[in-house]
Amino acid sequence: MSSDVPAKISIKTGSVVYSQGYVRYVVGLLGLVYMVNLMDRQILAILMQPIKEEMQLSDTELGFLGGIAFAIFYSVMGLPIARLADKHSRVNILTICLALWSLMTALCGFAQNFWQLLAARIGVGVGEAGGSPPSHSLIADYVPVESRATAMGIFAVGVPFGLLSGYLLGGWVEEYYGWRIAFMVIGLPGVLLAVILYFTLDEPVRGHSQLVPIVQMPTPSIMEVVRHMWVVPTFWHLAVATGLQAFGTYSIYQWIPSFLSRSYQMHSGEIGMSLAVVIGVGGLIGTMSGGYLADLFSKRDMRWQMWVPAISFLLTAPFCMGIYFSDTKMMSLIFLLFPMILVNTWIGPGISVAQTLAPARMRTMTSALLFFVLNIIGLGLGPQAVGIMSDLLAPAYGQESLRYALMLSSLVYVWSAYHFWRASWTLRKDLAETVA
């Protein structure tokens, strides 16, 4: 796509040079798409308890809907879709996928049983597979490396705003109109956003932010990208670290509404309002500060790109214990605020490092590889493991079994911190060897 935004032609490279205002618009628009992505993905979390009661589902089945059923298709389909995006227009791929996952979210509201809801959730996963990798690649081509972590942090603000909107809007709509209407209200606006994206977002030349001509070569295959990144130790420690943190974080996102309902008898509207404030504010602080601090400290030592999230996740586990051992709902929510800040600090520097390590023609696929590992470990196994543990602990702890299952899942944050720290060992060497 092309647009009528202000631009000029670079004599040096022969490519379009975009105004700073338009680059900000691009990052903001892609952040809005990311917000819709998270809102549509996580709306199930605030609706699980009424769905459980109406369809008589177990926690294992709910964990399957929110975890493996979504994650397998989301992760696996991300690879071929990213390949298409590296070869064709990323804007067009993103537009189609946005429209698809939005429509499938709305269709969840028509499900009459577990299998129909499962089919709709699979459709959401397939659509969202084409969301993040093209966006990461576009931002990397619009924003130079010295400010890329900050830009990725701004883009990633879509995570807390998406969760905030999903919890708040989903909670109140469910309380007054039911969970089916909530799916429709959350899903349909994404179709309109897809139209805006298609007509206003320009497709930049690959490698545009390097300000040097990029030699046009055949698009690398999936296996070529895997082989290239396989020998980059920083990338694989980063991938494992993000997967492990996602195990704990998606477990919180998916199950914390049910935990508050069962352990503190909070209703949907109250839960939605509380989580919108805590997760929204905490996530906003974490995503913005993580990218900013990483760029600031990296001026002295690039390893801070990995040290910032390593320190954050080391501190996360103790605060999680406070969430699940608090005597009152207020104290539990206060403790929840701190992990919501800390778990979001990785997004800006983590995605920025992955994009910087990858050659320009491999950026979309590299992002897909990162998210493949992240989502198989985190989104796929996290919510499912908590659901299974909750059912296994139920004979001993009753409705409090979810409390202990979530507590056990939070221990994985220490393991994640170790891999972020290990990624810092080879970061400078691997960045020095990266070629456009």
Mean pLDDT of the chain: 85
Q: Residues 409, 245: contact at Cβ < 8 Å?
A: no
Q: Which tens digit of pLDDT belongs to each residue from 79-111? A: 888 778 777 888 999 999 999 999 999 999 999
Q: Which of the two residues, 211 and 311, has the higher pLDDT score?
A: 311
pLDDT average, residue stretch 49-73: 84
- Per-residue tokens: 12: 């040096």
Residue listed under structure tokens 């959350």? 186
Direct distance between the N- and C-terminal alpha carbons of the chain, in angstroms, rounded to an integer: 24
CA atoms within 13 A on the CB side of 193: 24
pLDDT at 255 over 50: yes
**What amino acid is encoded at 337 in this protein?**
L
The tokens describing 400, both together, are 């409090």
Residue of 201, 187, 30, 35 lying closest to 101 (CA atoms): 187
- For residue 258, pLDDT beyond 50: yes
What pLDDT was estimated at residue 2?
Answer: 39
Calpha distance 23→263 (Å, rounded):
46
Does residue 10 register a pLDDT over 50?
Answer: no
User: Does the pLDDT value for residue 21 go beyond 80?
Assistant: yes
Give the Cα separation of 111 and 186 in Å (integer).
15
Which tokens in the block code for residue 66?
Answer: 């929110």
What is the per-residue pLDDT for 229? Answer: 83
Q: Which residues pair with 8 in a beta bridge?
A: 17
pLDDT in tens, 214-224: 555 566 777 88
Question: Could you give phi then psi for residue 164, rounded to 5 degrees?
Answer: -55, -50
3-state secondary structure of 10: coil
pLDDT tens digits for range 395-427 = 999 889 999 999 999 999 999 999 999 999 999
CB 8 within 8 A of CB 17: yes
Position 423, amino acid:
A
CB atoms < 10 A from the CB of 161, how many? 23
Question: Residue 436 and residue 434: Cα distance in Å, rounded?
Answer: 7
Tell me how far CA of residue 18 lies from CA of 142, 151, 205, 206, in angstroms: 8, 15, 11, 14
State residue 408 phi and psi, 5-degree precision.
-65, -40
Residue 6 has pLDDT above 70, yes or no: no
Three-class secondary structure of residue 259 per DSSP:
helix
pLDDT greater than 80 at residue 207: no
Concatenated DSSP letters for 329-373?
HHHHHHHHHHHHHHTTTTHHHHHHHHHHHS-GGGHHHHHHHHHHH
Q: What angle do CA 72, 75, 77 make, to 5 degrees?
A: 95
Q: Mean pLDDT, to the nearest integer, of 175-184?
A: 91
Residue 274: half-sphere exposure toward Cβ, Cα within 13 Å: 20
pLDDT value at residue 209? 57
| Pairwise pLDDT comparison (76 vs 259), residue with the higher score | 259
pLDDT value of residue 194: 94
Contact (CB, 8 A) for 202 and 3: yes
How many residues comprise the chain?
A: 436
User: What distance in Å separates the CA atoms of residue 19 and residue 8, rounded to the nearest whole number?
Assistant: 8
